[in-house]
């Protein structure tokens, strides 16, 4: 149960910033406005993301050079995010990015495609900052290896995200029940790590997100955001627009408020009626002490 503790809503900007600092900051302000708790960018250098054999043969991959986030944006984006009361995160896609991001991020996010890269997990874990990682395409053994890579270093706060790495993901392939599989496999503590679970969305389906929150009690949601349908990745079909996510976040938060804290005892709105219960001595309402003052 959430027990009145709202989950993290993290807006993934990905490459929709168009290398424009003003637009990047608009993502942050919109994320704050619609109720997010964090915003996340990606830091990569094309030559350290794809092998040279691929870049030599594929103009499509070479064109992603235009998707890089300028590293000089990071300090200002981090400060702006914190000024608006949100957490700032960024995905490192090369080893030096871990130290470059360290002064600015509240947590590291490691992408599904980097799950096998143990050295990246170790470098992030050495910092002691929380780590969130996605599990698209992964097996349980591969996830276990990632956790082993984190364990024994400085980081203890780890969030595992169920993810399907298809852009977009058909709702029927969301496989949300795998969240329970992860919980059964690893529990809440594992190898000295404190684990929590969430969902990284590529479905753009309200039904999927509602199911994830209300049936699987996730504590963390990551979703891809675009401002206006003009971002580089919007045409793929996995990005939400602010108005769509705003209404969904409001509904989810409203629904979760009804869970309460799970403790028994009269609520504030019940207090006035407590004295109007049947008195145990004669079975009549209200209590005897109330009758004398009525």
- Is 125 in contact with 98 (CB distance < 8 Å)? no
Measured distance CA(187)–CA(195) in Å, rounded: 7
The pLDDT tens digits of the residues spanning 114-139 come to 999 999 999 999 999 999 999 999 99
Measured distance CA(13)–CA(28) in Å, rounded: 9
The pLDDT tens digits of the residues spanning 15-54 come to 999 999 999 999 999 999 999 999 999 999 999 999 999 9
Could you write out the three-class secondary structure of 26-73?
Answer: HHHHHHHHCCCCEEEEEECCHHHCCCHHHHHHCHHHHHHHHHCCCHHH
Strands 193-201 and 157-163 turn out to be parallel
Q: Is the per-residue pLDDT at 2 higher than 80?
A: no
What average pLDDT score do residues 231-252 get? 96
Residue 230 backbone dihedrals phi, psi, to 5 degrees = -105, 0
- Is 14 in contact with 42 (CB distance < 8 Å)? yes
Q: For the chain, what is the radius of gyration of the CA atoms?
A: 23
- Percent of the chain residues past pLDDT 70, beyond the cut: 98
The pLDDT tens digits of the residues spanning 93-120 come to 999 999 999 999 999 999 999 999 999 9
The position carrying tokens 């170790």 is 122
Structure tokens at 153: 């270093």
pTM above 0.75, yes or no: yes
Domains and CATH numbers, the chain: 8-263 (3.20.20.70)
> pLDDT band at 222, cuts 50/70/90?
very high
Q: Is the per-residue pLDDT at 262 higher than 90?
A: no
Closest by CA to 182, choosing from 216, 210, 154, 207, is 216
What average pLDDT score do residues 219-246 get? 97
- Is 69 in contact with 41 (CB distance < 8 Å)? yes
Percentage helix, strand, coil for the chain under 3-state DSSP, each rounded to 5 = 45, 15, 40
Measured distance CA(201)–CA(203) in Å, rounded: 6
H helices present in the chain, as ranges: 21-33, 52-57, 59-62, 74-83, 95-101, 118-126, 140-150, 178-186, 206-216, 242-257, 288-293
Q: Is the per-residue pLDDT at 236 higher than 70?
A: yes
> pLDDT band at 256, cuts 50/70/90?
confident
> Tell me, what's the pLDDT at 5?
62
Sign, CA dihedral 241-247-253-258, equals negative
> Tell me, what's the pLDDT at 202?
98
> pLDDT band at 260, cuts 50/70/90?
confident
24, containing H or E segment: helix 21-33
- Is 132 in contact with 157 (CB distance < 8 Å)? no
Residues 6+ away with beta carbon under 8 Å from 271: none
> pLDDT band at 258, cuts 50/70/90?
confident
> Tell me, what's the pLDDT at 255?
85
Structure tokens at 86: 């949100």
- Percent of the chain residues past pLDDT 90, beyond the cut: 93
The pLDDT tens digits of the residues spanning 147-198 come to 999 999 999 999 999 999 999 999 999 999 999 999 999 999 999 999 999 9
């Amino acid at each position: 149960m959430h027990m009145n503790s709202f989950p993290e809503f993290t807006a993934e900007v990905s490459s929709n910033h168009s290398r424009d600092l003003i637009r990047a900051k608009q993502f942050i302000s919109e994320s704050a406005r619609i109720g997010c708790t964090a915003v996340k960018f990606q830091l990569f250098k094309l030559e350290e993301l794809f092998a040279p054999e691929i870049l030599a043969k594929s103009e499509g991959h070479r064109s992603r050079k235009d998707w890089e986030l300028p590293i000089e944006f990071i300090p200002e984006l981090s400060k702006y995010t914190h000024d608006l009361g949100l957490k700032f995160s960024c995905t490192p896609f090369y080893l030096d990015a871990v130290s470059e991001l360290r002064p600015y991020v509240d947590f590291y996010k490691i992408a599904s495609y980097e799950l096998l890269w143990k050295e990246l997990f170790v470098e992030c874990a050495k910092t002691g900052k929380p780590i969130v990682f996605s599990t698209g395409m992964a097996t349980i053994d591969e996830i276990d290896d990632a956790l082993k890579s984190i364990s024994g270093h400085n980081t203890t706060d780890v969030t595992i995200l169920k993810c399907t790495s298809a852009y977009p993901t058909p709702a029927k392939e969301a496989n949300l029940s795998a969240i329970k599989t992860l919980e059964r496999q690893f529990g809440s503590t594992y190898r000295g790590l404190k684990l929590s679970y969430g969902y990284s969305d590529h479905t753009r389906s309200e039904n999927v997100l509602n199911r994830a929150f209300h049936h699987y009690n996730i504590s963390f949601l990551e979703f891809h955001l675009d401002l206006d349908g003009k971002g580089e990745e919007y045409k793929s079909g996995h990005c939400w627009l602010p108005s769509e996510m705003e209404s969904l976040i409001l509904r989810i938060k409203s629904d979760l408020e009804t869970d309460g804290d799970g403790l028994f005892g009269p609520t504030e709105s019940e207090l006035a009626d407590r004295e109007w219960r049947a008195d145990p001595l004669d079975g009549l309402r209200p209590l005897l002490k109330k009758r004398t003052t009525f």
